[in-house]
Amino acid sequence: MKSTEERIEIKLTELVKRKKSFALYRFPTENEVRLIIQAEGDPLLFKNLEELSGKKGFLISPFYFGEHHPIILINSETEIRGLENIVDFLDKINFQGYPISTDILEESNADIIDKDIEEEAYKQNFDQFIRPLKNGLIKKLVLSRSHTIKRKADHSVVKSFFRAVETYQAMMNYICFTPQCGLWIGNTPEIFLSGNQNKWATVALAGTQSIYNQNTTTTQNIVWDEKNKQEQEVVAKYIRNTLTIHADTITESEIYTSLAGNVAHLKTDFTFNLKDNDSIGQLLNDLYPTPAVCGYPKQEAFDFIIRNEANDRKYYSGIIGMLDPNKKTDLYVNLRCAEIGKQTITLYAGGGIMPTSVAAQEWHETNVKMQTLLNVL
């Protein structure tokens, strides 16, 4: 008899072959796994976040909105909660009448590159990014990279997902697929926007260090240098100023250390009342991208990244999660994620670059972040 994970894997693989959009996910601190399937029709596509006002569904949004990477909203009318209910639902799906596409994942990833060559390319890109920072033209930039590995023939995306659910209970864990973005898996610690009606929350999350360097599994005795503190303040200040436009009664926590897998971050929590619940798209547009994934000032940093970053981020560092302003919205920044190809897996990571940043240290930080997902793949 096949295991629960094997039964789910078989059915989700069939959905991918038939280009049917879905998301299997679990929110932090919840025991309940959820599945959204859009069996009929295609997900909605958008060109900007403002268009999301009044909409609901499972959102997959890229870092850069374009023809090849649209904003995607999976219809959430069919949502199943709880593992037993998900298995029962999938067992009853009839795939007759849906054509099969065997090459949907064929071209979704980059070539496998030698690690030394990859590191040298990253350092060259780092040199480009550090110049405007040292010249005072930009205060912060975020430099990302990707790393492609061979996908084993017996690799199970579903088993990786459930390993992540067990290992990273304080993160959002997901698998999602649409014909437009392909198949992705991730474990992200960073809330982008959560809440309902007029009660909302977001966070400033920046600064990174491996907890292994501190020889601890708790936040005690973790010491932060000035570079990381400055990076965190840039993010917090941006969020603080943006919320002032859209919100009343803004409450801000003290800065504290938060653990996410094998790394620690500096974190500030914001809670607020939204002035106009019907303009959620405008808030998303003004808030995204925060300096945590882009830089500061926002437009100058974004333009510089688009012109100079060697890596195509695709849906890495975008937004992922459930959008439903009238019930419950839980949107996360798509960190610690990977794009699943037929024969390869491409992992993504990035880090904030400040004028005092050092290339070797930033390279190491991206490796540590990627290890979070590698641990469960």
Identify the pLDDT of residue 13. Answer: 92
| Cα distance from N-terminal residue to C-terminal residue, the chain | 24
User: Is it the case that residue 50 has pLDDT exceeding 90?
Assistant: yes
Identify the pLDDT of residue 215. Answer: 52
Identify the pLDDT of residue 263. Answer: 79
User: Is it the case that residue 280 has pLDDT exceeding 60?
Assistant: yes
| C-alpha dist (Å) from residue 24 to 17, 138, 225, 236, 254 | 16, 39, 38, 31, 34
Strand order in the sheet with 344-353: 79-81, 34-38, 21-26, 172-178, 182-188, 337-340, 344-353, 140-150, 295-296
pTM above 0.85, yes or no: yes
Q: How confident is the model at residue 1 (pLDDT cuts 50, 70, 90)?
A: low
Average pLDDT value over all residues in the chain:
91
* Stretch 200-209: mean pLDDT: 87
Whether cis (ω within 30° of 0) applies to the bond prior to 62 is no
User: Is it the case that residue 174 has pLDDT exceeding 80?
Assistant: yes
Instruction: List the one residue out of 250, 328, 324, 244 whose CA is nearest residue 287.
Output: 244
Give the pLDDT confidence of 303-323 residue by residue, as tens digits. 999 999 999 999 999 999 999
Identify the pLDDT of residue 102. Answer: 64
Identify the pLDDT of residue 89. Answer: 94
User: Is it the case that residue 91 has pLDDT exceeding 80?
Assistant: yes
User: Is it the case that residue 46 has pLDDT exceeding 70?
Assistant: yes
Give the pLDDT confidence of 233-274 residue by residue, as tens digits. 989 999 999 999 999 899 999 999 888 777 788 899 999 998
Identify the pLDDT of residue 147. Answer: 95
Q: Provide the residue ranges of all domains of the chain, joining segments of one domain with +.
A: 115-152+190-314+325-374
User: Is it the case that residue 338 has pLDDT exceeding 90?
Assistant: yes
**Bigger pLDDT: 364 or 261?**
364
Express as a percent the part of the chain with pLDDT over 90: 73
User: Is it the case that residue 211 has pLDDT exceeding 90?
Assistant: no
Instruction: List the one residue out of 345, 320, 366, 7 whose CA is nearest residue 174.
Output: 320
* Stretch 173-198: mean pLDDT: 94
Q: How confident is the model at residue 375 (pLDDT cuts 50, 70, 90)?
A: very high
Identify the pLDDT of residue 289. Answer: 96
User: Is it the case that residue 96 has pLDDT exceeding 90?
Assistant: no
CA distance 295 to 144: 12
* Whether the Cβ atoms of residue 173 and residue 34 lie closer than 8 Å to each other: no
User: Is it the case that residue 347 has pLDDT exceeding 90?
Assistant: yes
* Stretch 187-197: mean pLDDT: 91
User: Is it the case that residue 71 has pLDDT exceeding 70?
Assistant: yes
* Whether the Cβ atoms of residue 261 and residue 165 lie closer than 8 Å to each other: no
Identify the pLDDT of residue 222. Answer: 85
Record: fold of 115-152+190-314+325-374? Anthranilate synthase (3.60.120)
Give the pLDDT confidence of 97-108 residue by residue, as tens digits. 677 776 667 554
Instruction: List the one residue out of 98, 109, 75 whose CA is nearest residue 16.
Output: 98
Identify the pLDDT of residue 220. Answer: 67
